[in-house]
Each structure stands twice: as C-alpha cells, then as structure tokens.
Amino acid sequence: MHDMRFPNEPKAYRAARHKLLRAEMALRKQVEAVAALRRKLPAGGEVPGDYVFEGESGKVKLSELFERGETLVAYSFMYGPKMEKACPMCTAMLDALNGNAQHVAQRTNLVVIAKSPIERIRAYADERGWSNFRLLSSAGNSYNADYHGEGPDGSQWPMLNVFVRRRGKIRHYYGTELLFAKQERGQNARHVDPIWPLWNLLDFTPEGRGKDWYPKIGY
C-alpha cells in the first residue's frame, strides 16, 4: 500500500496497520460520499418568519445575518435562562470551534444562539475566551422551539442548523438530525462530532473516547 515504515516495527504490526489503512481509505470515501449527498439536498421549508434576535449591538433579524454569501450556520447552545450552568459538552465543542471561527468566516456565516439574555451569554463567552463568535439570544422568539434547539418542556437541545437564501427567501437546508435518530449501543448521538476535534483526536488513541468520560466546564 506504501513503503513507509517506522523504526523497529514488527511484521504483525505492519499487517494489522495495512488492514486498518484499507478501512481508513474506505471511510474517507464514505465521508466524501455522505458530504456529496448533503450538498445535493434541495432547499427545505421556508422559515416561518424573519426571527428577531438580541445581538450584542442590539436587535438583529435572521435575514440580516447573511453577510458573507447565501448560507448561514447556526448552532443552538444549551444555555437557557433556567440553567444554572452552561452545558459542558456544548462548551467543549465551542471552545474548539471558536479558534476556527475566523477561518469559517471566510467561507460562510456562523452564529451561536442561546435562550439566555444576551448579557448572560456574553459574560459566559468572556469566561471561556470566545472572541470570534457572533452571539445571539433567542429569548424573544420561537427559533429554538421551531428548529429543535429546545424541547416541549423548555429543555435545551444542541442542534446545528444550516439555512440558505434563494431568490430573497430563506429556507432551512440541513439540521444535525442524528441527535434524534435511534442510538445504537455505545454510539451516543455524535451529531456534531465532525466539527469537534476532541473526540476525533481521542479516536486516534488506544484508550479511545472512554465509556463514561465526558468533558467538564473546568479541571
């Protein structure tokens, strides 16, 4: 498959590694195939209204968030007004995504939405050092409930949605519905894993992700 070798590696290791390499190559093709299917999705339903969010500089409409092209990526951050603390899992993912947000901004629009008042969201963002996100509060609209960032009982859900603007109309394009699909044993939802370096790095290690380990707010 290739001639590269590491110092003193046994033949058994190389045989097993090449078997794994074939699986990795097959996975790479599958990842590309799934991405291609995602790109071919037709635009979904038109949004029910031009949601008004509370931003750090005042009120802003959904239609005003399309500053760089015709696509908008919106992550629903689990930090509702009744939650004493923000979600540790969302926090860990956003810790990493914040570093890439400036790069993402060269290609598309990215916002982070939570149900808490904008002042509370900003205060938490400052604690985490999140300086690259456009933060929005959905406390005054039904966005969370409409696009599954919130349950019927008001519980907050970690949903990522993509919207597109076509001929002046904003439509839903993609949502991480693996969050709601039947979960096989040991799989969890993994709906935003592709953008979360933590789990992908741990998958390279012999210990893996661990059965019961989850990130915390602090250590």
pLDDT at residue 211 tops 90: no
Beta bridge partners of 7: none
Topology annotation, domain 52-177: Glutaredoxin (3.40.30)
Residue 122's pLDDT is 98
What is the Cα–Cα distance from 78 to 88, expressed in whole angstroms? Answer: 9
All structural domains of the chain with their residue ranges: 52-177
- Average pLDDT, integer, range 131-152: 97
Average pLDDT over residues 107-119: 98
Predicted confidence band of residue 16 (pLDDT cuts 50, 70, 90): very high
**42 touches 172 (CB < 8 A):** no
CB 115 within 8 A of CB 138: yes
- Kindly report, residue by residue over 28-49, the tens digit of the pLDDT: 999 999 999 999 999 899 999 9
Q: Which amino acid is at 67?
A: E
Q: What is the mean pLDDT of the chain?
A: 96
Average pLDDT over residues 203-216: 93
Residue 187 has pLDDT above 80, yes or no: no
| Whole-number pLDDT of residue 186 | 74
Non-local CB neighbours of 21 within 8 Å, separated by 6+ positions: 1
Angle ∠(51,139,196) on CA atoms, nearest 5: 85
The single-letter code of the amino acid at 6 is F
> Would you say residue 7 has pLDDT above 80?
yes
Long-range contacts of 53-60 (CB under 8 A, 24+ apart): 53/113, 53/136, 53/137, 53/138, 53/140, 53/141, 53/143, 54/117, 54/118, 54/136, 54/137, 54/139, 54/140, 55/118, 55/134, 55/135, 55/136, 55/137, 56/118, 56/122, 56/135, 60/136
44-103 pLDDT tens trace: 999 999 999 999 999 999 999 999 999 999 999 999 999 999 999 999 999 999 999 999
- Determine the pLDDT at residue 212: 85
pLDDT mean over 144-158: 97
Per-residue pLDDT, averaged over 199-205, amounts to 96
pLDDT at 8 (0 to 100):
97
Would you state the pLDDT for residue 169?
96
